[in-house]
Amino acid sequence: MFSALSAPLTYALKPIAVTDGMWMLAGAPQPITFENGGAIANITILDSSEGAIIIDTGPSRRFGEELATLARSLTGKDIARVYITHFHPDHAFGNQAFVAESIAAPQGVIDGLRDAGAAFSDAMYYIARDWMRGTDIVLPKHAVTSGVEEIGGRRLHLFALAGHTSSDLVILDETSGTLIAGDLAFLDRAPTTPHANLSVWQQSLTTLGDLDFKMLVPGHGPVEADKRALTQTHEWLAAIADIIQRSYERGLDMLETARQPLPPSLEKIALSRYEFERSVMHLYPKLEAERLPEVGKKIE
Ligand SMILES: [Zn+2]
């Protein structure tokens, strides 16, 4: 008899067909845990005449390897291109399974992964343990900026934006009219904000809202044929900024702020309390630092 602990770990990836020649691997609507092996982000696979195009590589070497195998079998071709939407480990730690020269990202994503990768890696090994075995950080070697790229008959419009992190890549597959929004859009799963700039994020949401697309793949949450992921993410960010600011102004401390209710429509989103409390823990001190008088500046 094998115990669960001695069984080989496998992600058993299950592709969901989004549209012709496009699949998504749906991330678990959970925080990163040992049980999910860090597979919490959505991953997209596109077919093209030159080969598979993959957007984000998942949380570990093992995930990347399973993803590469799956993409080859779905498309019957090798991997033509990989894009990384941002430097978070659940999106970029499967890079090792791919040729670094084929991995593309804005320079800001590459820099972020270089600077924060080791700290992320420690955290991931601590939580996901055996799933991470043999995982090293591989930096994308192909820097991209906003503009159109044509790969194997697909027209991909790249948008180098920011807000969820200091550099967020969004890809509009013009061929199918699908917007792959990375973590600038969450749906029915509360947004994470540890590296966010909320006002820049809101500007990026406005930019995305003006685009013409038929379907949206959020970084976390289900694919939908409308802009609900953009409006819900906007509402979430506006609500948490407002609650934190008003609580601070009423003299509530950080823990009291973290206990404030969310609007009912947002309270019911998966992980709403968990992410709100995490957001308060880093956004409240930031606000406090901005509002405190700068001691010493006035003495002249
Ligand atoms: Zn993220």
d(C-alpha 256, C-alpha 250), whole Å? 11
Q: In angstroms, what is the span from residue 117 Cα to ligand 1's centroid?
A: 13
CA of 196 to the centre of ligand 1 (A): 9
Contact call for residues 263 and 243 (beta carbons, < 8 A): no
Q: Ligand 1 mean position to 165 CA, how many Å?
A: 7
> Per-residue pLDDT averaged across 126-143, rounded?
94
Is 80 exceeded by the pLDDT of residue 123? Answer: yes
Distance from residue 91's CA to the centre of ligand 1 (Å): 7
Q: How far is the CA of 199 from the centre of ligand 1 (A)?
A: 16
- DSSP β-ladder status, 52-55 and 43-46: antiparallel
Distance 182 CA to ligand 1 centre (A): 8
pLDDT one-digit tens code per residue, 196-254: 999 999 999 999 999 999 999 999 999 999 899 999 999 999 999 999 999 999 999 99
Average pLDDT over residues 2-15: 75
pLDDT for residue 300 is more than 50:
no
262-272 per-position pLDDT tens digit: 999 999 999 99
Task: Examine the pLDDT at 1 and tell me if it is beyond 60.
Answer: no
Does 6 score more than 60 pLDDT? no
92 C-alpha to ligand 1 centroid (Å)? 10
Geometric angle at alpha carbon 252, from 275 and 236, rounded to 5°:
30
Calculate how far, in angstroms, residue 265's C-alpha sits from the geometric centre of ligand 1.
23
Mean pLDDT of 9-23: 95
For 109-126, letters b (16+ CB in 10 Å) and e give: bbbbbeebbeebbeebee
pLDDT tens, 162-173? Answer: 999 999 999 999
Across the chain, what does the average pLDDT equal?
94
Q: What is the whole-number distance in angstroms between the Cα of residue 4 and the centre of ligand 1?
A: 30
Indicate if the pLDDT at residue 9 is higher than 90: no
Q: What percent of the chain has pLDDT over 90?
A: 92
Cα(296) to centroid(ligand 1), Å: 38
pLDDT at residue number 61: 96
Say which amino acid occupies 66. Answer: E
Span from the CA of 180 to the centroid of ligand 1 (angstroms): 14
Domains recognised in the chain with CATH numbers = 16-227 (3.60.15.10)
